[in-house]
Chains A and B, each alone.
Chain A
Amino acid sequence: MTTIITTGANYLIIVLFAVYTFQSFQVFKRKTEEDRKHIYRMQMAGIYLISFLAHLVMYLHTKDPELLFFYCAQVMFFTAVFLAFPLAYKKLSRLLLNHMCMLMSIGFFMIARLDLERSVKQFFIAAVTMVISLLIPALIRKAKFLKRITPFYCILGIGLLAAVFIYGSVTYGSKINVTVHGITIAPSEIVKILFVFFVAGMLRKNTSIGNVAATTFLAAVHVLILVLSKDLGGALILFVVYLSMLYIATRKLTYVAGGLLCFSGAAAAAFFLFNHVRVRILTWTTSFDVLQHDSSQVSQSLFAIGTGSWFGSGLYQGLPETIPVAVSDFIFSAISEELGTVFALCLILVCFSCFLMFVNISLQLQDSFYKLVSLGLSVSFIFQVFLTIGGDTKFIPLTGVTLPLVSYGGSSILSSVIVFAIIQSLYIIKQDEGDHHGENETKKRRS
């Protein structure tokens, strides 16, 4: 009986998620608000259903009552989010809210599949962050204040990174985490957001050579500390974020070209200087034929994806626990193995849909500070998705970053939720801008 339900639920999950993904893009074609609302409601139902099926299968396999409590807590959590968010964030993007919940939900059950205790921990951090994020709209409205404290972002950011470099503990060869009073945090996740605000504050008005040079110098300090801590993924994300923001602020492709030139030089230097960089790049250049006769991290990941094939083995039918760091860096491979490549492809599309909604708000905002902030966060989000999925599938060299909202990691989920909350707040700012302009226009008309 368990096998029948597992198999049936597996296919149903894939179909539901495929429909969900399809609707994410379909929604742009719907003309009326009513039609769109209908789609959003269907998507919400999809989130609940997929979560239900996944937990049902997992319960049948583990018979762990804790899983049932955990599931109920999740239902309450998501219901609370769906009710509270639209109140706190007027005119938020429902699509983005759905995506955030969907990605978190996938993360919760996939981590629970691998390690229930960690999933519960992840859940609590997510819940606390959600409550905090209800305050973000109020904070974001204080634009003047946020613009004024630009040096603060930089000092705090560099300070945090330096603290990791000095006091950080080494995991998998990189210094990413700092343990304070028994709580391990990865400050680089938070610094990503501070960094975006810092660069936006610096470049929002003044794009003179001098200012660009100063900003570039300070940005380079961020990146270099990360490189020295061997946090390659983090360094790469900040670099790409900076280059993108610089391009948007200055509209000069020469800066991008210069940046890429520096990157090539730095990458070549890193290849010769750092053994871990060399190992990763050499693994990447190894052919699949050779990787078959290998038991490296990437091979393990590819075995999982290959064995899972298009429709996956079904939850608890594969061996994702044999993939190294399956709960965080390689969660995409674990998902591919048990839920299949079709599901994994939908996951990529949903992440990309998030990015489009991020860019959407960036396009519409008039305030150059927020325009840059939303753009920086968009790039940070989508590039991180690209790094982790590309690394897990050997499309690019492995950098060891998390999949936002899905991977296990307290700091990761915290910063990802905050990013989504900031973007949602910007939808309110846009509304304010709209109102503001609306008022101006009426005034003009009256006069």
Chain B
Amino acid sequence: MEKTKQRSAEADPRNEQGKKPRKKREKSGEIMILTYFFLLIFVLLIGYLVYFQFTYGESMANSPYNRKRQNQLAQKVVRGQILSNDGEVLAKTETDDEGNEVRVYPYGRTFAHVVGYSINGGSGLEAGYNIRLLKSHASIFKRVRNLTSGQKNIGDNLVTTLDTNLQEAAYDALGDSRGAAVVMNPKTGAVLAMVSKPDYNPNEVGELWDYYTSQESSGDSTLLNRATQGLYPPGSIFKVLTTLAYLREHDDQYSDYHYQCDGYIEIDGERINCYHNEKHGSLDLEGSFAHSCNSSFVHIGFNLKKKTMIDLCRSFLFNSKLDIPIAYSRSTVAISRATTVDQMMQTVIGQGDTLVTPLHMAMMISAIANDGKMMNPYFVDHIENEAGATVKTYRPKKIGLLMTTEETRIMKKFMSAVVNEGTATSLRDEDYTVAGKTGSAEYGTTKGNSHSWFICFSPVNDPEIAISVIVEGAGEGSEYAVPVARKILDAYYYNQ
């Protein structure tokens, strides 16, 4: 007892752990509790800071509001290259004799929107991976040599998932039409091609900036990436979801569905016509889908529970944010308990207040192709240093299992019927198999103005690619969007 007392009287930091005589223990229990409390909150604080730096440090650094620091990095590092999945250079920085740096895009307009530009705030992958391109993981020897010789380090390269063959095919297929095309690998979510029209030349975006931005106000919106930011009514391709909702409510009895189409349907005085007022006659569910019969789907939609539709749309990421590195718009659907019969009738056939992006529709068709599993779209496969050594690899990310195997089996069957006997028969005689859905989405107030949609995947049995195409203001899906998809499929099967 005496001994311990004397020991604790020394100026000895160990005493904290050392034993204290009983009398001095008075209140020490409470003090220790308090100490542990602060220890706990500091452990949490440190853990949080480490977590922040690992998870959000880079995305914070990459913020468009943090350009000053990014520009400062650019003083020390030559911006890295952006490469296609087959090693083609999509963007590089060239330095002339006087040390002036110019960003060069060898493919010009072809990759304009998805690769983007690095000046004036940036866009596309150039902006999404700005900080990555400005970081150098060159070998330590090279960096020390650059340090001593006063040269800039060479930034890391992005190796994208983009495929030059498919991108060129999609670019050419859209031609002079306005619209967009997205090609994805449904199993991984890798974006293989992404085109938006009208396009611009990224090599001239600096000189022509005023011209391009003035177009924005005139409605052309050349700089806008329609594939991710363009919001369009989905038209008949939305029937995919209506059909799914019907399957969910009727499980095994969907084959009992029958409808007699007279070319129009009238509910509560609201009349909806089939496309071109065509009379489809006697239809089951597959026939209704294959022929895209509006009347039949309005009939289905009228009897659907709103909750089924709301839940389904939510699981398919309507009104939600996406995890992609480039600018995008959220797809929106406006169904609630308060939705009127008229609105519901419009919504189930893809009209009304529903707006979707071509990328989102590519994700939807990919999920069906991938047995119900929706994958997160991604653009960059890996990052490598200037010598080609991998710095970071991006792995496919699953968003969720949205459908049962049985549901996808039925949907695939219906989508095959679209090609074999329905609205996309022009693809029937190809050497490859395709399943998909066409759409003609009316827009604006003028009757008859419509966007042409086609979403599809191929081959049917073991899908390798999924495509989403929209041609603005063109008209029927089968006439304009299907040929675009065919050209992309041809390139995929015959041009490799």
Are B13 and A360 in touch, CB under 8 angstroms? yes
Stretch at the interface among B54-62, B118-126, B308-316, B462-470: B54-62
Residue of B nearest to A248 (CB): B30
Query: Cα distance A157–B41 when bound, in Å?
Result: 29
B303 interfacial contact with A, CB 8 Å: no
A72 interfacial contact with B, CB 8 Å: no
B14 interfacial contact with A, CB 8 Å: yes
- Chain A residues in 8 Å Cβ range of B27: 248, 251, 368, 371
Are A306 and B65 in touch, CB under 8 angstroms? no
Stretch at the interface among A87-95, A107-115, A413-421: A87-95
B432 interfacial contact with A, CB 8 Å: no
Partner of B6 from the list A319, A344, A434 (CB cut-off 8 Å) is: A434
Are B6 and A438 in touch, CB under 8 angstroms? yes
Residue of B nearest to A33 (CB): B12
B100 interfacial contact with A, CB 8 Å: no
Residue of B nearest to A301 (CB): B60
Q: Taking the nearest CB of chain B, how far is it from the CB of A339, in angstroms? A: 14
- Chain A residues in 8 Å Cβ range of B9: 430-431, 433-435, 437-438
Q: Taking the nearest CB of chain A, how far is it from the CB of B41, in angstroms? A: 6
Are A395 and B45 in touch, CB under 8 angstroms? yes
- Chain A residues in 8 Å Cβ range of B35: 355-356, 359
Q: Decide: A93 near B13, CB < 8 A? Known: A7-B147, A293-B63, A393-B52.
A: yes
In this complex, the member of B5, B42, B131, B150 whose beta carbon has the largest number of chain A beta carbons within 10 angstroms is B42
A303 interfacial contact with B, CB 8 Å: yes
Tell me the A215-263 residues at the B interface (CB within 8 Å).
Answer: 244, 247-248, 251
B447 interfacial contact with A, CB 8 Å: no
Are B15 and A360 in touch, CB under 8 angstroms? yes
Are B38 and A382 in touch, CB under 8 angstroms? yes
- Chain B residues in 8 Å Cβ range of A368: 27
Scan A303-325; emit 1 where CB is below 8 A from any B CB, else 0.
11111011000000111001000
- Chain B residues in 8 Å Cβ range of A355: 35, 38
B48 interfacial contact with A, CB 8 Å: yes
B429 interfacial contact with A, CB 8 Å: no
Are B16 and A289 in touch, CB under 8 angstroms? no
Partner of A341 from the list B53, B68, B150 (CB cut-off 8 Å) is: B53
Query: Cα distance A379–B39 when bound, in Å?
Result: 12
- Chain B residues in 8 Å Cβ range of A244: 34
Are B5 and A437 in touch, CB under 8 angstroms? yes
Q: Taking the nearest CB of chain B, how far is it from the CB of A241, in angstroms? A: 11
- Chain B residues in 8 Å Cβ range of A146: none
Partner of B65 from the list A294, A345, A394 (CB cut-off 8 Å) is: A294
Are B53 and A309 in touch, CB under 8 angstroms? yes
Classify the secondary structure of A's interface with B.
Answer: helix
Q: Decide: A28 near B65, CB < 8 A? Known: A251-B27, A307-B60, A359-B35.
A: no
A441 interfacial contact with B, CB 8 Å: yes
- Chain A residues in 8 Å Cβ range of B16: 28, 356, 359-360, 363
Tell me the A354-391 residues at the B interface (CB within 8 Å).
Answer: 355-357, 359-360, 362-364, 366, 368, 371, 375, 379, 382-383, 386, 389-390
Query: Cα distance A244–B13 when bound, in Å?
Result: 23
B139 interfacial contact with A, CB 8 Å: no
Are B69 and A303 in touch, CB under 8 angstroms? yes
Scan B69-80; emit 1 where CB is below 8 A from any A CB, else 0.
110110000000
Query: Cα distance A395–B44 when bound, in Å?
Result: 9
Partner of A293 from the list B34, B58, B64, B321 (CB cut-off 8 Å) is: B64
Scan B273-307; emit 1 where CB is below 8 A from any A CB, else 0.
00000000000000000000000000000000000
Are A28 and B49 in touch, CB under 8 angstroms? no
Q: Decide: A434 near B61, CB < 8 A? Known: A28-B16, A305-B52, A307-B66.
A: no
B148 interfacial contact with A, CB 8 Å: yes
Query: Cα distance A265–B58 when bound, in Å?
Result: 38
A82 interfacial contact with B, CB 8 Å: no
Query: Cα distance A341–B6 when bound, in Å?
Result: 42
Tell me the B213-260 residues at the A interface (CB within 8 Å).
Answer: none
Are A344 and B49 in touch, CB under 8 angstroms? yes
Q: Taking the nearest CB of chain B, how far is it from the CB of A374, in angstroms? A: 10
Query: Cα distance A341–B45 when bound, in Å?
Result: 13
Are B61 and A309 in touch, CB under 8 angstroms? yes
Are B57 and A309 in touch, CB under 8 angstroms? yes
Are B321 and A319 in touch, CB under 8 angstroms? no
Residue of B nearest to A288 (CB): B56
Q: Taking the nearest CB of chain B, how far is it from the CB of A31, in angstroms? A: 8
Are B147 and A4 in touch, CB under 8 angstroms? yes
Q: Taking the nearest CB of chain B, how far is it from the CB of A43, in angstroms? A: 13
Are A306 and B30 in touch, CB under 8 angstroms? no
Query: Cα distance A56–B20 when bound, in Å?
Result: 47
- Chain A residues in 8 Å Cβ range of B338: none
Are A305 and B11 in touch, CB under 8 angstroms? no
- Chain A residues in 8 Å Cβ range of B38: 352, 355, 379, 382-383, 386
- Chain A residues in 8 Å Cβ range of B46: 345, 348-349
Query: Cα distance A156–B2 when bound, in Å?
Result: 43
- Chain B residues in 8 Å Cβ range of A62: none
A27 interfacial contact with B, CB 8 Å: yes
Q: Decide: A307 near B2, CB < 8 A? Known: A95-B13, A364-B20.
A: no
Partner of B34 from the list A379, A431, A434 (CB cut-off 8 Å) is: A379
A295 interfacial contact with B, CB 8 Å: yes
B85 interfacial contact with A, CB 8 Å: no
- Chain B residues in 8 Å Cβ range of A305: 52-53, 57, 60
A3 interfacial contact with B, CB 8 Å: yes
Residue of A nearest to B68 (CB): A319
Are A318 and B69 in touch, CB under 8 angstroms? yes
Scan B8-39; emit 1 where CB is below 8 A from any A CB, else 0.
11110111110010011001101110110011
Query: Cα distance A93–B52 when bound, in Å?
Result: 35
Query: Cα distance A293–B73 when bound, in Å?
Result: 20
Partner of B11 from the list A251, A383, A427 (CB cut-off 8 Å) is: A427
Are A393 and B17 in touch, CB under 8 angstroms? no
Residue of B nearest to A374 (CB): B31
Partner of A292 from the list B14, B53, B63, B147 (CB cut-off 8 Å) is: B63
Query: Cα distance A371–B245 when bound, in Å?
Result: 70
Query: Cα distance A443–B126 when bound, in Å?
Result: 83
Query: Cα distance A4–B66 when bound, in Å?
Result: 26
B50 interfacial contact with A, CB 8 Å: yes
Q: Taking the nearest CB of chain A, how far is it from the CB of B141, in angstroms? A: 14
Q: Taking the nearest CB of chain A, how far is it from the CB of B403, in angstroms? A: 28
- Chain B residues in 8 Å Cβ range of A293: 63-65
Query: Cα distance A146–B292 when bound, in Å?
Result: 90
Query: Cα distance A303–B60 when bound, in Å?
Result: 5
Are B14 and A28 in touch, CB under 8 angstroms? yes
- Chain A residues in 8 Å Cβ range of B31: 248, 359, 362-363, 375
- Chain A residues in 8 Å Cβ range of B66: 303, 306-307
Q: A-side interface residues toward B, CB under 8 Å?
A: 3-4, 7, 27-28, 36, 91-93, 95, 244, 247-248, 251, 288-289, 291-295, 299, 302-307, 309-310, 317-319, 322, 341, 344-345, 348-349, 352, 355-357, 359-360, 362-364, 366, 368, 371, 375, 379, 382-383, 386, 389-390, 393-395, 427, 430-431, 433-435, 437-438, 441
Q: B-side interface residues toward A, CB under 8 Å?
A: 2, 5-6, 8-11, 13-17, 20, 23-24, 27-28, 30-32, 34-35, 38-39, 41-42, 44-46, 48-50, 52-53, 56-66, 68-70, 72-73, 131, 147-148, 150, 321
Closest 6 CB pairs of A and B: A434-B9, A306-B60, A307-B61, A292-B63, A303-B66, A306-B57
25 pairs, CB–CB < 8 Å, chain A vs chain B: A3-B150, A288-B52, A288-B56, A292-B60, A292-B65, A293-B65, A295-B65, A302-B60, A303-B60, A303-B69, A305-B52, A307-B73, A317-B72, A352-B39, A364-B8, A368-B27, A375-B31, A375-B34, A379-B34, A386-B38, A393-B52, A431-B9, A438-B6, A438-B9, A441-B5
A386-B41, A386-B42 given. 20 additional CB < 8 A pairs? A91-B11, A93-B11, A247-B30, A248-B34, A288-B56, A288-B60, A303-B60, A306-B56, A306-B61, A307-B61, A307-B69, A307-B73, A318-B72, A322-B69, A345-B50, A349-B46, A371-B27, A379-B34, A438-B9, A441-B5
